[in-house]
A = this chain, B = another copy of it.
Amino acid sequence: MNSEFCIAVHALVFLNRKACILSSTELAKNICTNPARIRKIMVKLKKAGLISTKEGLDGGYFLKADPKDITLFQVSEALDFKFVSSAWKSGGVDMDCLIASGMGQVLDNIYADLDSLCKERLKQITISNIDDEIFLSHTTVNGGNT
């Protein structure tokens, strides 16, 4: 469920740069996925107050918050997913051996720790930062005449 994060960040950067209302179909085209998937993700960003929607003709999605204020941490929180986790557990809680019964929790704790470490780091990156990263590196001071 990590690609949801990619899609959300991509959509926010794109909405910011286009600075207009874009439908799920238009977003899907740029992101290379399908509109239904876009909508499912945008619902979460809307609940988090990062975007708003306009229904009806020429409706779609647009940024609500200031891109300088939207951190990737907020995006990850909005999506409610974990960067680090494991569905598979070794051993089993009802086994006699202390290692077999305890290892699942031990690793869950480690993964939870790593996950918050990641999320703390993402508080330092905003949608504006990413826009800069993409567009400043393609803009030279002399217009590309090296």
Chain A residues near B (Cβ < 8 Å): 2-3, 5-7, 9-10, 13-14, 17, 30-33, 72, 83-92, 95, 97-100, 102-103, 106-107, 110, 113-114, 117-118, 121-122, 125, 130, 133-135, 138
Contact = CB atoms under 8 A, between A and B. Distances in A.
Contacts of A134: 98-99, 102-103, 106
A9 to B, nearest CB: 7
10 contacts: A2-B86, A3-B90, A6-B103, A10-B90, A10-B91, A13-B103, A31-B91, A84-B118, A106-B130, A114-B122
Contacts of A92: 32
B102 A3 contact: no
